[in-house]
Structure 1
Amino acid sequence: MKNLKILLYLIPVIVILIAGCEKFNNESSGVMPQRELSTNVEQNESTKDAVTKIPSEPLPYTKKTDAVNQQTSGADLKLSERLVVKTGKMTIESDKYDEAEKRISEITNSMGGLIVNSTSSANASGKKQGVITIKVPSKDFDKLVAQVSTVGKVSSQNISSSDVTEEYIDLEARLKTQKELEERLYKLLQDRTTKLSDVLEVEQKLSDVRQKIESTEGRMKFLRNQADYSTLTVSIFEPSLLETSSGGGFFYELGQAFKSGLKGFTKVLASVITILIAIIPVLVLVYIIYRIIKKILKKNKTVK
């Protein structure tokens, strides 16, 4: 009987404990999904943020842009190194041609230049005149002009320059394209599966491309050489008595005028003689007809 009473007291306690455990389990199970959901939401938000940030970091585009910028800056660098071709012409009067020529040669050698052409002759009055073509490094061109001007009296001077930078850069781009095409054709030529007819066609195109490459490289070399070395053409003459524009002197010009006049008179006289010879037969015929008519008229008067 005593044990029954104890059991009756324990049953409500057990029920309460069971109910409390169930409640605790429900609360625990309710909290965990919320945490997991919260964690998932945070992860999704982080992922979403990461996905959103990927396009805003233009790594490949930045590299491409950098490459383009490098090419552009390279072009700007080339443009800053201008290729300018300088040329000049001078006419100098000197009392002694040989000394002037020697002085110009010394000036040229002192600047590391060279005389590429030199011609001279004497006019009718015995005075020498000639032309000297000089090439010097472009950096010394102005200095050359200044020093050559001191050799004699400068009667005329013409200095000009031409910027060939854009043409040179265009040739560089064209050469790069041609070499890329040459490389592709060469690889295609090495393909053993290519047909013989295709091989011949590729070889022909490869030959054409190589000719274009040689032509482009030749033009680039010419422009670079022209820009590196400037050209000055100097004309020298010794003054004659009463020097004229042609450099021959007064008496020489007088003699030339007399010769020219005599030649003109000879031509006129020859023309007159030619005309007379041509009309003499006509004049003879006219004279014969005139004599016949006159004789007939005289005979008629006698009959009357």
Structure 2
Amino acid sequence: MPRPRRTQISLEDTPYYHCCSRVVRRAFLCGDDAYSGKNYDHRRSWIESLLFELAAAFAIDVAAFAVMSNHLHVVLRIDIETANCWTDREVLEQWHKLFNGDDLTRKFTKGELVEPHEVVKLKHAIAIYRSRLCDISWFMRCLNEPIARQANQEDGCSGRFWEGRFKSQALLDEAAVLACMAYVDLNPIRAKMAATPEGSDHTSVQLRIQAALKGEQPKKLLPFIGNERDNQPNGIAFSLADYLELVDDTGRIIRDDKRGAISENSANVLTRLNIPHENWVKLISEFGQLFHGPVGTLQALTHYCEHLEKRRRHFATSCQHFKID
């Protein structure tokens, strides 16, 4: 039986989570539907635009994403520090980017006087909204529901568009985060929707490559910040150049129609992650089959299960790929 989201989130262990939503039955998210002859590629821009609109409102960063023909992947980072540092007015301003609120919250954000008997109600609303703005369930709800309504309206039908709940996986350490990001970024290549990472439309890796060519990083994505140090903005403590090289080399390995080998530089990257080459290839090419729950080293998985009072370490066998034999 599915576990409630609150029992799968442990910010003490990690702020990173991989979420995946899949459409129901023969519904089409994007791409060409051979049965009807219709093309739904325009829906990719719906999703990408809404994804970044939500990231600007929530205290949640987008680390990676890929919009596929019948499902979408996102790797999210919960920024609890930012949510806690928002003032009461900032919380309501962020919430009002997505929802209208009520007369009381709108009056407060306009700087109008709040009556003493309204203060308790206002504080309660602010506490709820602050919590929701760093909640991946609310983030995915705000992403999936509008897309479902818009798609159903376009298709002239009603009913369920997405399969049940979205899938969520905790990424417990740096290696798990990078492996999952590479898996997401290479999804279009594995599905033969694109030949190269830079040619993978509506993916995070394409945005990162386009920005890197200008010596920049995408402002809408969680940046790579190199080795973590004091007084540095939030980001992934890893080199962007190394990551892009790692994705490119891995893409060459897992493709059937292209030969290649991991370069010497990328081998050094994997050494720093303590993952042997053969394990890395297996992780990226079979990530979806290996893991249906938390991802990371056995030690990280153990801590995660202890904090959430889980009695069993599910997928412990798969997590062994994150260490050197």
TM-score clears 0.5: no
Structure with bigger RCO (C-alpha 8 Å, 6+ apart): 1
Greater helix percent: which structure?
1
TM-score of the superposition, structure 2-length normalised? Answer: 0.17
Greater strand percent: which structure?
1
TM-score of the superposition, structure 1-length normalised? Answer: 0.18
